[in-house]
Each structure stands twice: as C-alpha cells, then as structure tokens.
Amino acid sequence: MDPIRAYDRSVNRLSRRELLKIAGSVGLAAIARPITAQQTIARPVFMTFPFTLGVASGDPLPNGIVLWTRLAPQPLDGGGMPMTNVDVQWELAADRTFRTVAQRGTAIARPELGHSVHVEVEGLQPGREYWYRFRAGDEISQVGRTKTAPAAGAAVDQLRFAVCGCSHYETGYFTAYRAIADEQFDFVFHTGDYIYEGRGHGGRSPAAVREHSGQEIYTVVDYRNRYAQYKSDPHLLAAHASAPFVVSWDDHEVDNDYAGDRDEHDTPSELFLLRRAAAYQAYYETMPLRRRSVPTGSSMLLYRRLQFGGLVDLSVLDTRQYRSKQACGGGSKAACAEAIDPGRTMLGSEQEKWLFENLANARSTWTVLGQQVPTFARDAQKIDPATRFPMDKWDGYVGARNRLYARLKETRAPNPVLLSGDVHQHYGGDLKLDYARPDSETIGVEFTNTAITSGGDGADTTPAWEQIKSDNPHIKYHSSRRGYIACTATPASMRADFKVLDRVTVPDQPVRIGGSLIVEAGRRGASTT
C-alpha cells in the first residue's frame, strides 16, 4: 500500500485547542501524540508549513542520489520543531506527476541534526531524470528534479553543469540561482561561500539591498538561522529543486580566510575549533551529503570523487580544513619565502595522497578538480609590488601548487580542468608550469566563477585588472560582473560559457553570456570562441 496515502486516511486530526495544548512550548509545530524524548512522531500535525527550506538532491552516482530536506516551521528561529524524532516520508518517481513511483520510504528527522533528513537512494537507473518530494504528516514539500550519473565508463555525448558560488545575501538578489534553475543542468558544482558569517559586509561591499538578521554567527543555531535566511530567497530553493548539487565549502561557511584550525584573528585554536564544529554541523545539516560526511567533533570529510560515465572524472577538494596557516601574515603580500615553502600544505597530506592517486588512475575524457580558491597566479605587481600575490589563494601555497601541477604532468591525467571561485570575478585561462615564464608548458585550464551576488552589481572590467592583465597572459577571459559558469563537456571539447548579469541589486534582471572559452580534448589550453 502507498504509505503516504495511508497517512491521509489514518491521520488523527486534533482540534486547534488540543493542538496548542499538546504543542505547549514547542511553538508552531504540534504533534498528534504526547512527546517523550525517545519517541518518534509518525504523524506530526503542523500549524505552519514545515518545508520552508525547500528540497535538494546531491552527489549523483550511476545508481543513486542523496535527497535532502529539513523540517523548519519557524526557519529563522532555530526551526521551531519539538525536540523529538519525526518521521518524514519520501518518494522518488520517474515522472514529474508521480504516476510512476520508483521508490519510497520513511526517514527520521532528528533534533540532533536540526530535523534535517539525508536519504541515500540506491538501485536507480543511470543517467536519467527523477522527481522527488517529501511528506510529514499532512504537509507535502515542493517537488525536486534530479538526475543520476551515467553508467560507469559509459560513452556520454554531453554533460552540462554549472559552477557557482559566493552568494552574499545582503549585496544582491539571487537572480543567478534562478537562471541556473532554468537551465536544468545535469549537476551544479558549488565552489563555496554559500553563506557569509558576518554582520553587515565590513564596508567592503556596495550598499546592501537586504540585511543579515542578528550578529556575527558562532553557534549551531546561529548558523542554522543564517542558512534559513539565505533560503528565504526563492531563487536559491529553485536552483536546488532543479538539479543535483555537488557542494564544496570555502571560508565564509565558517569564518573569513580561516586556515585549518586558525581564524583570521588568531583566536586560540581550541576555541576556534568549537566554532568550526558548529559551522560544519550546520553545513552538513543543510547540504545534500552522504552519511560519510557527518561531522566528527570539529572535523568533516568533504573531499570525494564522482564519475560521470567515461566523460568527466570529478574530484571535489577541500582547501580549507587541512591547509597550513596563511603565509607571511595573510592578506596580499610580495612573494615571500614562506609562501613558496614546500613544507606547507593546501590539501593536507592525506587528501593530497588521495588526489594524487585519483590522478594516476584517471581514465575519463576530462579530469576535473572542483575546488575553492584559484590555483592560477594573479600577479598584481604593477599595482603594488608589496601586495603582489593573494596569500589566501594557491599563490600563497606555491610549494603545494608546484606539487599539484607536477603531478598533473607526471600522471598525464587526461585534459585537466580546474574549477574555482572565491574571488568574485570570472577568470578563465591556462595553467602554466611556471607562471614567471609565459612560454612554459601549459598543463591544463582553469575556470573561476564570479559571485552569485558578492560585491554587488560589478562591471565588465576593473581599473586593477586593466593595469595587471598584461602581466597575466595565461588569463584569457575576465569579467567583474556577477553570474555563474555553464560548462558543456563532450568527448571532443569542454566549453565554458561565462554567464553575467548587469545588475543584482535590482530583482529579476536578465542573464547573458559575457564570453566563452573552449578547450579541445587532447590539446592543453583554452581559446576564445
């Protein structure tokens, strides 16, 4: 019997007065039976819609997908759920009207995880679309579209994916997320800075179009509320409901420019790690990730590998959790001995070993490394030699970059494509074995997405870029507008369409292609189309 319809018939509706009596101090969520701590509420009765944070799916496998939601009738105030387990039914169908249900089941939303659910569906068909939804009591969620990965090693004609990140709630509307939703990608790779932790924007950004509620965030509840505020923008919910996300984080999911166990203010590590644990927990709760990523203390396993037939081999990297402290005091500095010290790490030794093994056995047409901060050099000596390189990027971890590039060359991993974000400007270009020598070998390409909103409206170019572009000939496309990248991989080429919006401080502006780069399989380097 269809368990969801069965609930329709059996749910025991209580009067509003009884509901309020049972609900007691739990606020907007009421239940059909008295609460005890150990009990799982099978048939919750809500007084307010609980699926305020929408639905999401992620990390597609050929036979499986992660489905996500979080019950939050009071999303901006901790969630508003009673502190007990609650049953959530899910179903996944082969059609958007749910006539052909492929699988269904019940998951438990637990208070320990903010009443989020992460369903790891298995036994699905490779390379096909599915639609999914959740139910709790009588309440039904939005419908999400998702797609499994093609079968292992299969010939794939085309794969389309978005690369996006840096969505500051205050500095603009999430129109770019709406455009991503409209494109119905095979998957969306998020480069991080999904939220910003601060209060206000430090005077660095243009005028806010809306404001973060509360102060700078530190506790699990703070981070939950911040994620919920971001999800109050319907365009973010639409993007998640349109395609599976493959998420990674950057710094602002915890604290600006943090490095491993050090924050930017040199807070004692044992204290910063308390904050990092809270941030990582809320991140896990909010993202469509597998159980392997459930945090342990202040640690969380985020790096992983996803394969899309014989076409794309994607290693998702974590360049925050294990990196060495920023060189030379952080910020932007002249080239300094510490920055090129090979003893310093960006990935940590275990992740670096894992990645280097992946590169040795990469067999797909495109070897894609999805990560956060640009690996290419951005030399700004013409602006000021004293602030020539950004220490937060791989420019501050030159020894680690040299190891990575040397490994790409040594393994001959097919057609390396690095993805990055963080810098709120589009960049696309070639990776050079030695950036000081423009004629040195090209060992791959990198596409860096601008921001969904961070930095405000932006412009086609900046005075700084005009000043330094001649010193950075490996960079072949640049835009300082907001947007995302739409990538199209085929057996013959990888094309990056750099999508831009003229304004993000005005709602619902159009999105257009600002420029494109194309890489032909077998040839190292990008060219303009």
Q: Which residues bind Fe ion (CB under 5 A)?
A: 166, 193, 454
Token pair of 164, please? 């996006």
**Is the CA virtual torsion 169, 232, 212, 299 positive or negative?**
negative
Q: Are strands 527-528 and 116-121 parallel, antiparallel or unpaired?
A: unpaired
Nearer to Fe ion, 193 or 395 (CB): 193
Beta carbons of 177 and 230 less than 8 angstroms apart: no
Q: Is 52 or 454 the residue whose CB approaches Fe ion more closely?
A: 454
Q: Work out whether the CA dihedral 75, 321, 160, 506 comes out positive or negative.
A: positive
Closest to Fe ion by CB, 41 or 166: 166
Shortest Cβ 169–Fe ion spacing (Å) = 12
Least distance (Å) from Fe ion to the CB of residue 448? Answer: 12
The Cα angle at residue 10 between residues 9 and 11, in degrees rounded to 5: 105
For residue 375, give every residue at least 6 positions away whose Cβ sits within 8 Å of its Cβ, in sequence order, or none.
393, 394, 401, 404, 405, 418, 420, 431, 446
Q: How far is the CB of 196 from Fe ion (least distance, A)?
A: 7
From 273, 275, 304, 274, select the one nearest 289 (Cα to Cα). 304
Min dist CB 252 to Fe ion, Å, is 6
The alpha carbon torsion through 208, 213, 219, 225 (nearest 10 deg) reads -100
Report which of 372, 301, 290, 354 is spatially closest to residue 61, judged by C-alpha positions: 290
**In the complex, least distance from residue 47 CB atom to Fe ion, rounded to whole angstroms:** 38
Closer residue to Fe ion, CB minimum distance, 195 or 489: 195
Token couple for 285 = 């709760």
Instruction: Report the nearest approach of Fe ion to the CB of residue 164 (Å).
Output: 11
Sign of CA dihedral 478, 483, 487, 488: negative
- State the minimum distance, in angstroms, from the CB of residue 251 to Fe ion: 8
Q: b/e string for 380-403 if b means 16 or more Cβ within 10 A?
A: beebeeeebbbbbbbbbbbbbbeb
Name which of 249 and 376 has its Cβ closer to Fe ion.
249
Tell me whether residue 286 or residue 454 sits nearer to Fe ion (CB atom).
Answer: 454
- Residue 45 or 239 having the CB closest to Fe ion: 239
Task: Write down the least CB distance from residue 192 to Fe ion, Å.
Answer: 7
| Placement of tokens 């939601």 in the chain | 69
Q: Is the Cβ of residue 89 or residue 425 nearer to Fe ion in the bound state?
A: 425
